[in-house]
């Protein structure tokens, strides 16, 4: 089974520039997440999609971050304009329901963003 | 107060040692609990879920104390390959689909 795909793996931009990240979840997974992981911290949820609808975007800085999942499959996360504090790894994840009734999250390899 | 709190470490132990990590969570309504492992510059991967009765997977034992809102992970007979960051994870009280991650505890196993 193919895993969660993300691109690019690395991106270096200057502050105030724009950047976009792409994610393709595991085939058939309806729920997709974007996380931000700053060095030394755990992943922080930015947005959760169920198919093409947003379930939770309460921690998404909407003045500069946007995300879409138009066809309910792959997703794009955009930052415009970027700030120095946006330097982080952006992780995409999707979930599988396990027999015990709990959900296992599978993460993509992440996109490491450096804002100069 | 953070929703999930962990000692950041690092824990520096010799091979063969037993090491324990602790975690506390703030929301008593949380129902699902996990330990994830994250290797340097890699994505997190599920290590094990944590059941109310406690559970064991080889050298790893997880315990949950709901009354104290406390989760633990015990690693016996540490291997060099156990060196990683261990993330304590609980589900959001409003949804089993939302996971809240601790900042992680770093483990270094030395020869």
User: Mind giving me the DSSP string for chain A?
Assistant: ----EEE-SEEEE-TT--EEEEEE-STT--EEEEEEE-TTS--EEEEEEETTEEEE-TTS-TTTEEEE-TTSS-EEEEESS--GGG-EEEEEEEEEE-TTS-EEEEE---EEEEE-
Q: What would the mean pLDDT of A16-39 be, rounded to a whole number? A: 94
Interchain proximity B103–A42, CB inside 8 Å:
yes
Q: Any chain B CB within 8 A of the CB of A43?
A: yes
Q: Any chain B CB within 8 A of the CB of A110?
A: yes
Give the one of A40, A98, A103 whose C-beta lies nearest to B103's C-beta.
A40
Query: pLDDT band for position A45 (50/70/90)?
Result: very high
Higher pLDDT among residues A23 and A99, named by residue: A23
Query: pLDDT band for position B93 (50/70/90)?
Result: low
| Per-residue pLDDT reduced to its tens digit, B51-68 | 888 899 999 999 999 999
Q: Any chain B CB within 8 A of the CB of A25?
A: no
Q: Any chain A CB within 8 A of the CB of B20?
A: no
- Taking one residue from A and the other from B, the number of pairs with CB-CB distance under 8 angstroms is 49
Interchain proximity B87–A109, CB inside 8 Å:
no
pLDDT of residue A1: 61
Q: Which helix (H) or strand (E) holds B56?
A: strand B55-57
The length of chain B is 111
Higher pLDDT among residues B102 and B9, named by residue: B102
pLDDT of residue B87: 97
pLDDT of residue B97: 76
Q: What would the mean pLDDT of B20-29 be, rounded to a whole number? A: 93
Instruction: Report which DSSP code applies to B3.
Output: S
According to DSSP, the residues that pair with A96 across neighbouring strands are A104
pLDDT of residue A21: 97
Higher pLDDT among residues A111 and B96, named by residue: A111
Give the one of B4, B43, B103 whose C-beta lies nearest to A110's C-beta.
B43
| Per-residue pLDDT reduced to its tens digit, A60-96 | 999 999 999 988 899 999 999 999 999 999 999 998 8
Q: What would the mean pLDDT of B33-54 be, rounded to a whole number? A: 93
Q: What are phi and psi of A85, to 5 degrees?
A: -70, -5
How far is it, in rounded angstroms, from Cα A104 to Cα A77? 22
Q: Which helix (H) or strand (E) holds B87?
A: strand B84-92
pLDDT of residue A83: 97
How far is it, in rounded angstroms, from Cα B62 to Cα B72? 6
Higher pLDDT among residues B27 and A14, named by residue: A14
Q: Cα B29 to the chain's mean position, in Å?
A: 19
**3-class DSSP state for residue B81?**
helix
């Amino acid at each position: 089974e193919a895993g969660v795909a993300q691109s690019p793996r690395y991106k270096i931009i200057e502050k105030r520039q724009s950047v976009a990240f792409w994610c393709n979840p595991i085939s058939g997974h309806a729920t997709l997440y974007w996380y931000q992981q700053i060095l030394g911290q755990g992943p922080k949820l930015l947005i959760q999609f169920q198919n093409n609808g947003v379930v939770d975007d309460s921690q998404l800085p909407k003045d500069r971050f946007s995300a879409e999942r138009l066809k309910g499959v792959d997703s794009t996360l955009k930052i415009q304009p970027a700030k120095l504090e946006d330097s982080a790894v952006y992780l995409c994840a999707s979930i599988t329901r396990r027999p015990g009734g709990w959900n296992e999250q599978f993460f993509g390899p992440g996109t490491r963003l450096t804002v100069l | 107060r953070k929703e999930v709190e962990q000692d950041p470490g690092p824990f520096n132990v010799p091979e063969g040692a037993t090491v324990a990590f602790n975690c506390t969570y703030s929301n008593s309504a949380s129902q699902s609990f996990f330990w994830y492992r994250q290797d340097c510059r890699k994505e997190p991967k599920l290590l094990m879920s944590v059941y109310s009765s406690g559970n064991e997977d080889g050298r790893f034992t997880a315990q949950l104390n709901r009354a104290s809102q406390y989760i633990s992970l015990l690693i016996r007979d540490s291997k060099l390959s156990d060196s990683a960051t261990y993330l304590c994870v609980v589900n959001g009280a409003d949804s089993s689909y939302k996971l809240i991650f601790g900042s992680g505890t770093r483990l270094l196993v030395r020869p």
